[in-house]
Amino acid sequence: MMLRWRWWFLGALFFAVVIAAIYLPILRRNIKQAAKLQQRSEEQARRELTQPTVINPSDPKVKAKLFWASGADDGTVSAVVVDLPLANDPVLRSKQVLNTLLAGPVDMELRTLPPDAALLAFYLLPDGTAIADFSEALATSIPSGIESEQMAVDSIAKTLESNVPQVRRLKILIHGQEVETLAGHLDLSQTFLVNANAAVGPRASNLEAPASTTEAQQLTPVAAPVKLAASPDKPASKP
Amino acid sequence: MQTSDTLTRPGLNVVVLDPAHGGTDLGARGTGGIHESDIVLEFAAQVRTALEAQGFQVVQTRQGNANPSFDDRSAMANAQRGAIFVTLHIASTGTPGTARVYVMNDLPSGADATGLIPWDRAQAPFVSLSRKLADQVQVLLAQRFKGSPATAQTSSVRQLRTTAAPAIAVEISSVTVEDRGQLDHMAPGVADAIARGAAAFRPTYVVPANPGERP
């Protein structure tokens, strides 16, 4: 009786091993495929999000000025004139010039922005404040330092100033967030003056701008929360 | 140790020295394992000695591997009467062996009738004084380190914005040097330039005698 029960048990065990041997590779393949699919969809989403604005060849070609490092190793940027078909709409035009700027100059040594950085979104508020939202790589891949961070902002601001006359100020966001510094040095909590004489109209652009001004202002508060420091003549304590 | 001269002299006596970064924030990193946060601390020790030799009292924002916030560092300067603020940095870029001094861009002043100025624009009334100090130090750095600019530059350095005192950032190039000794070799020259620049600036900085007066 005991011997028969043992044969039954061994038979069942053998059957289970055979089933497992057939099923496990299939299961492993399915898991790998599922992971690949998920990875692909994430990549696709990111690519769609950061996809450079297509330059339309039918747009009028203009001599765009793009600012990269001057090469003098003195922390300055200088203009390179490039023939680009640019849209008339200021938001689209800004995206086109910034994506070309991000693509980099012919001489990669003159880059001011990391090669893996991408422009995620660009808005232009009615008062001429441009909001440029860059991927995290702008902050994490840029060489840390006052000079390098200042050059990055200078190249963005001067490129906008030269090609998009509607931009008065620039606010830089990283991955949709307001950050204190670019990479530990340069202050990103404030806006940068791009062009004090910008041609600001009643509504600079309605393309891809947030639904309302109020919504836009939430993205970029006009001023950081105010704390008070004492005047120079009396000692101050941190609030 | 203070001399009787420093105790009695009115005006600028204190230098708040800020070795940037620290703690988990290593700052700029070189391929040879050089970290900005370590080097600036060593530079600060030499700058401190040179400043004390000029009769200044030195307050350091960090002594070891701590990382006070930007506001905490500024608060150390803002709590002093008649101090200047010097923040030390090592760049990732620039010609190795050069040094640059930065001052804050012009800021809109937000002072009200009470004489209080907004914390986030604390540097506004001091920008022109900061520029004077920066130029004094930059000239001395340019004499010692060839290839350095002759005049100070402006930049929106976060640390400077909330500092209610003449404030400068000194940035040395760079962490990309193959031999760390190249940077160590610069420390005495940088220290001397900062100390002599601060001493030359001292007579031009008149600390307001009465509350409510602007610098």
Q: pLDDT by residue (tens digit) across A61-78? A: 899 999 999 988 888 999
pLDDT of A184:
95
The whole-angstrom distance between A71's CA and the closest CA on chain B is 10
Helix or strand or coil: residue A230? Answer: coil
Which residue of chain A is at minimal alpha-carbon distance from B113? A231
In sequence order, which residues have a C-beta less than 8 Å from that of residue B31 and are 6 or more positions away? Answer: B176
For B150-161, what is the mean pLDDT? Answer: 96
pLDDT in tens, B91-143: 999 999 999 999 999 887 766 677 777 889 999 999 999 999 999 999 999 99
Name every chain A residue with its beta carbon within 8 A of the beta carbon of B215.
232-233
Task: Look at residue A214 and tell me whether its pLDDT is greater than 60.
Answer: no
Sort out which chain B residues have CB atoms less than 8 A from A75's CB and list them: 93-94, 100, 153
Whole-number pLDDT of residue A209: 36
Inter-chain CB proximity B93 and A186 less than 8 Å: no
Nearest to A95 by CA among A181, A8, A209: A209
Does the pLDDT of residue A238 top 50, yes or no? Answer: no
Q: What is the DSSP string of A109-122?
A: GG--S-TT--EEEE
* SS3 state of residue A81: strand
The per-residue pLDDT for A233 is 42
What number of C-beta contacts closer than 8 Å exist between A and B? 149
Instruction: Report yes or no: A237 and B80 within 8 Å, Cβ to Cβ.
Output: no
Return the pLDDT at A216: 34
Please give the angle made by the CA atoms of B62, A234 and A230, to the nearest 5 degrees: 75
Residues paired with A187 in a beta bridge: A181
Contact A234 B207 (CB under 8 A): no
For residue A71, the chain B residue with the least C-alpha distance is B94
pLDDT at residue B59 greater than cutoff 50: yes
Q: Looking at residues A97-120, what average pLDDT do you find?
A: 94
Selected for mutation to probe chain B from A187, A188, A189, A194 (highest B CB count within 10 Å) is A187
Could you say which of A145, A227, A230 has the minimum Cβ distance to residue B120? A227
| pLDDT tens-digit series, residues A14-38 | 888 888 888 888 888 888 777 666 6
| Through-space distance between the first and last CA atoms of chain A, rounded to whole angstroms | 87
What percent of chain B is helix, strand and coil (3-state, nearest 5)?
Answer: 40, 20, 45
Q: Could you tell me the pLDDT band of residue A58, with boundaries at 50, 70 and 90?
A: confident
